[in-house]
Amino acid sequence: MSAGALELWSPNTDNVEAAKSLLFELRSGAFEAHNLPEHEDLGLDDLSVSSEASLSDIIRGKIDWILEGDLELGELLITEARIVEAISAEISKNDAPLAAHQGRVAGIAGNIVRQAGGSEKEIEETENGAVLHDLGKLYVPKHIRNKEGRFTKEEYRAMQEHPGLGADKLDPVICGIILKIVRGHHENLDGSGYPEGLRGKEISFGAMATSIADRYDAMTNRKHNVGREKSGRLTHAAAVQEIVSRSGSHFDPELVRAFQFVAARMAPLQLF
């Protein structure tokens, strides 16, 4: 994902504080208990904001944002792609398999949008949304999100909350397009999805592409195929056929055709 092609936006104090809170929440592991420590316990007040910091500074925890320009806080410009990278890095520290899944989904979803004729901005927005699409799973109890074998009804209901949980965490920080992808990646064309039961054009282009890529990766990668029996893992060809069989019901036919083109040219991304 290239930061250069994305528009820059001006944060206000609330944006910055919300971003710091989210990064520290991920860094501290507080999401596991849904019992978040106060900012003072995390040393937030001692952090300084730098206008010339690198991404590695964020990852090492020296600061929380990349701010460009020598301006007052309210006028400083942040590249959204770098914010996404910083949050993604913290997710990787907490759950490497989840982060790997999100990375694969982002690559596939971006290529689907590209093949469907999306603009460069749409491709990058899709990749940025897809690489954070399962953030909310960190707020689902670990014994549920990492379960091998089928979910109980109660566990499945808990897992169904993850799109909304992720979008709610990102809402004060990230733009609307990415939020639509995070919140909408389990919505279905016919309205049978969740969390809102959206249908048709109510589902964003990027969210539908992410949904297809997410379903493919979940079916073909055992390490992320949680909530299913181990025998539920499918081959590349079988997973592609499963996606095609849901064209017009779960998935947009135009994007399914684009996915078929992408799938025919990529090596099966299966992990054992």
Q: Residue 185's pLDDT is what?
A: 98
Q: Residue 192's pLDDT is what?
A: 97
Hey, what are 149's tokens?
């074998």
Q: Residue 179's pLDDT is what?
A: 93
CA distance 105 to 215: 9
Q: Residue 129's pLDDT is what?
A: 95
Q: Residue 53's pLDDT is what?
A: 37
CA distance 165 to 159: 10
User: First CA to last CA across the chain, in angstroms?
Assistant: 27
CA distance 231 to 105: 22
Domain range list for the chain: 1-94, 95-272
Contact assessment for residue 137 and residue 98, using Cβ atoms and an 8 Å cutoff: yes
SS (H, E, C) the chain: CCCCCCCEECCCHHHHHHHHHHHHHHHHCHHHCCCCCCHHHHCHHHCCCCCCCCHHHHHCCCCCCCCECCCCHHHCEEEHHHHHHHHHHHHHHHCHHHHHHHHHHHHHHHHHHHHCCCCHHHHHHHHHHHCCCCHHHHHCCHHHHCCCCCCCHHHHHHHCCHHHHHHHHHCCCCCHHHHHHHHHCCCCCCCCCCCCCCCHHHCCHHHHHHHHHHHHHHHHCHHHCCCCCHHHCCCHHHHHHHHHHCECCCECHHHHHHHHHHHHCCCCCCCC
Q: Which residues of the chain have pLDDT under 50?
A: 1-12, 33-77, 230-231, 269-272
CA distance 232 to 234: 6
Q: Could you tell me the pTM of the whole model?
A: 0.74
Contact assessment for residue 113 and residue 85, using Cβ atoms and an 8 Å cutoff: no
Q: Residue 5's pLDDT is what?
A: 34
Hey, what are 145's tokens?
């999100």
The CATH number that domain 95-272 falls under is: 1.10.3210.10
Degrees, nearest 5: CA angle 24-12-161? 50
